[in-house]
Amino acid sequence: MTVFDLLFIILLCATVCSVSVAAWFALRLQFDRAARILARFVICATGYLGIVVGGSLILPRRVMKLGECQCFDDVCVSVDGFQTMQKGKTIEFRVEARLSSRALAAVQRENNLVIYLADYQGRRYNPVVDSSYTPFNIKLQPQESAVVSRSFRIPENAKGVGAVITPEGGFPIRWFIIGYDTWFRKRPLVPLS
């Protein structure tokens, strides 16, 4: 948990309190007081979201090393290695990623994780479809890890290729916390070439 996660939790509690107090005043027919509380809340919430969006504009893309973990709650994932093979006019990448649980007591899994390759022009290359792949949302016992791999075929002229592992779908809570890879900030990249 980062300091920005903690700040978000504090502000979420302040939001609940502000809206509750405003509703209480409204129920007591003190609409002026309720309106002032809600106006202050809207100003503060707008300022906070402005900082979140502004931070996404100025923070650079994280470039990660092979084996470096990025964590989503109690599940961490890292790109541990890759292999390349020339196949005609394409290059086949086989990327191995390690999922690990840092939980101490509960079984964990991370839904909505995807992996894809991207080149320096921002083109996205999804994995080759294969039913034998181990899914990213496998259940992990406390302190357990598992290796998953995916194959990709990309044009041989693609330059600056890197792997991106990120959540897609689900409720975007990360869009409301400073410092995450959201809004205008590109997802973390592990260079492969």
What pLDDT score does 184 carry? 86
Q: Express as a percent the part of the chain with pLDDT over 70.
A: 99
Q: Please say whether the beta carbons of 69 and 110 come within 8 A.
A: no
Q: How confident is the model at residue 30 (pLDDT cuts 50, 70, 90)?
A: very high
Tens digits of residue pLDDT in 81-136: 999 999 888 999 999 999 999 999 999 998 889 999 999 998 999 999 998 899 98
Q: Express as a percent the part of the chain with pLDDT over 90.
A: 70
Q: Please say whether the beta carbons of 85 and 92 come within 8 A.
A: yes
Residue 129 burial class via C-beta count within 10 angstroms: exposed 0-12, middle 13-18, buried 19 and up: exposed
Handedness of CA 114, 120, 122, 126 (dihedral sign): negative
- Tokens 């086989």 — which residue? 94
Weakest-pLDDT range from 107-121, 136-150, 174-188: 174-188
What pLDDT score does 52 carry? 93
pLDDT, mean over the chain: 92
Weakest-pLDDT range from 55-59, 62-66, 90-94: 55-59
Segment 169-173 shows an average pLDDT of 81
What pLDDT score does 173 carry? 83
Residue 180 pLDDT more than 90? no
Weakest-pLDDT range from 8-17, 54-63, 94-103: 54-63
